Chain A
């Protein structure tokens, strides 16, 4: 079956952003992919605004902490208040960023940032540090990979997460060097354990102040000669990053990961070599790499369309883009992230979210299929996510009957409702010229990237009383199908 122009445009919008919005549908039948991509680039060319969720209470506590010098100098109550505010902050950061993904015009930038958020996976309970890292990632999302790598590597969030504060001349800690090489640049199998040990020596002394500023602590740095990937010298951390970037394998590893994420989990050797060579030769220009991908013919090859399982965040954000809605109970978005297995700022480990079929098991799939119905019918949501002791979701979610300050329990969601009010008007306009008999196909054309829909089944479950409620109910039913999980 030939792929329609509309599907090709939707393919681009799903991969280079979070899917088509209700308003954008009208033009997708006729616009060219080139035009759409140009606009995506244009809207993503401005420096993104800093997302700042710190409130006065947190600022005050944090200032107190800076004056005290170290966290140990704070009183028990101060420490507790700081932790609590920090958790709140990360929760707000999550929701604020989701809003950008849903309503922001810089779709390509946020999608790229979302990719880097998984690539530079980091858990840190300090809200300021997380906020700073997110800013680095969004600012450099389409910039130069070398810069991005350097800024991330010098961020308090990552240095703390990978224990580089403990990496000292006398007691090297290899964690940071190992992950930089294994996960951030070259990938496994391209260096030796000896390379890691030597690189770790070069990173000694890299640390951060209590305020989150990078600092090089000279007295902790190992000034001896190191041998890393065949090069010898009195290297520091910056030198190691340069050496890693000089290796073509780094371009290949990053381009390969991007290809798998944005094009197809199955690598096509010819396409990958082409983009990764150009990525290397452009000195790691991310924007050019993405342009190479999204303007290539092979990106629109049918085998690359409709084959990607949406991540939980992509699924939820995509729903809100196509069906604009008001959420009285924003917290439900955290609940869905949690039961579906992708909470922003809480990756499962430093390797990020594995993605693909890993998202799907019997329970998670059934929740995915029920969400549209929950939104439309405002049914009760009765699942209980697991506790996460790093995250203390029980407190993050503000459970009313929390048994005590130090008990971390998963919130019981029994009786929680989404309380969403879908604003159907904009969406409905897309079908104004569509004949009744073509409605189901037309809806499927917007919601599904690939598949023929079985009209009869949908007819059975849609409300045929009037045109409007037919479109509404058929839409919700189709969003409750496995096909909608793919983009």
Chain B
């Protein structure tokens, strides 16, 4: 807080709530904010985002993360028998319960667990799993059944459902240079950016602004291109302005994940209309010499996430955060001859946030006695997770978006 009395704070929250309702009606907070009279604008203060503005952060582990060495069945003899070199010994694991330990490189996740801010869902997958990276990632990102080929992503279709007439593609942002299928809808697409300032700088070329302003309608396709360009240029300004409203002051590690999460934090503290953030970490494709690779990636994640969670809590935004992790598949139960693991099937997902309704280990550990072709059987379809997140967190029409109805889980 910055010296305002309680009454001022209350009235500010009221104003913000009015603004937020406007946002819900018009679909963009930006336009609402720009139409605000100057005196109201002056009331915007750091850390004043009112509660209830929920955001989703999706973290993709690219390459197929080894779930069994992430959430470890520390009492399972089969696990240790199948992984004589690679299995993580009980003494080394971060113990969560009698049966379950975490990878030693994830102490921040143990803290979250103890704090009641972590959910672990085991055995997540889909029927007839595909062991090809690109096909399986395609299935996860499109949210399809795996039988058909879908050219849109589940978050993209969320944008289509939510964002009718939006003037900026900022409701879903990927921290990357290239936009993933997950964020591509039929009509609306999210925006990929590595860094708000860089996007802003590169959008400052006057030429693009000039041609954008002087373009006259010229047919479907060319207008679509001009609209995309104009939206991108506007968004670049908007995102940059927002990112500087209340930039995070926390000191994040100088890794890519650290920088990405700091960008996300700064945007979450701002007034931006973004509901979904997307980022990736990888590669987890550990066929050879798995241990040091997974450790390196987990350390990067752990150290960045630790700061991010504290940052969210310090700014009272943690209860409105839901973050989940996924990977295109898990890995084979048995280790291979190269100190690594080969492509597998069902996998573990983490849920992180202050608003989880169900915490801890959400279901049973994978049954290593009951395998198909040496791989885990899935027990939860990932589309149940999507449906739950869409419905209970983003307040969206999951059936329309997923093209089918899936039972909701209880964690949100």
Contacts and interface: CB of A to CB of B under 8 A. Distances in A.
A349 B149 contact: yes
A384 B211 CA distance: 27
B151 A354 contact: yes
B298 to A, nearest CB: 14
Given A354-B151, A365-B228, A406 B218 contact: no
Given A361-B189, A363-B193, A486-B221, A387 B134 contact: no
Given A339-B177, A389-B283, A454 B220 contact: no
A361 B229 contact: no
Contacts of A481: 211
A237 interface: no
A407 B169 CA distance: 34
B204 interface: no
B406 interface: no
Task: Assign chain B's interface to a size class.
Answer: 35 or more
A364 interface: yes
Contacts of B221: 306-309, 486
A460 B205 CA distance: 13
Contacts of B338: 76
B355 interface: no
B178 A386 contact: yes
Nearest to A123: B134
Interface centre among B149, B169, B289 (most CB of A within 10 A): B149
A362 B179 contact: yes
Interface residues of A, number: 56
A450 B218 contact: yes
Contact of B63 (A363, A405, A408, A460): A408
Contacts of A351: 149
Interface string B175-212: 01111110110000111111000100011000110110
A361 B229 CA distance: 9
Contacts of A477: 207
Given A348-B134, A366-B232, A386 B62 contact: yes
Contact of B214 (A188, A350, A406, A454): A454
A457 B207 CA distance: 8
A233 interface: no
B167 interface: no
Interface in A420-459: 450-452, 454, 456-457
Contacts of B193: 363
B134 A388 contact: yes
Given A406-B289, A407-B283, A364 B224 contact: no
Interface string A373-404: 00000000011111111100000000000000
A390 B280 contact: no
Given A366-B229, A450-B219, A384 B177 contact: yes
A457 B209 CA distance: 11
Contacts of B189: 361-362
A483 interface: yes
Contact of B229 (A365, A405, A456): A365
Contacts of A338: 178
B210 A460 contact: yes
B52 to A, nearest CB: 29
B282 interface: yes
Contact of B133 (A354, A364, A388): A388
A350 B149 contact: yes
B228 A362 contact: yes
A363 B183 CA distance: 12
B238 interface: no
30 contacts: A306-B219, A307-B220, A309-B221, A309-B225, A341-B178, A348-B181, A361-B192, A363-B177, A363-B179, A363-B232, A366-B202, A366-B203, A366-B229, A369-B229, A385-B177, A386-B62, A386-B180, A387-B283, A389-B64, A406-B288, A407-B283, A451-B222, A452-B218, A454-B211, A456-B214, A460-B210, A482-B225, A482-B226, A483-B225, A485-B225
Interface of A: 76, 123, 188, 306-309, 338-339, 341, 346, 348-351, 354, 357-358, 360-366, 369-370, 382-390, 405-409, 450-452, 454, 456-457, 460-461, 477, 480-483, 485-486
Given A123-B134, A366-B202, A486-B221, 18 more contacts: A188-B148, A306-B221, A339-B178, A358-B151, A361-B169, A362-B228, A363-B178, A363-B193, A365-B229, A366-B203, A382-B198, A389-B283, A390-B132, A405-B288, A407-B283, A408-B282, A451-B222, A454-B211
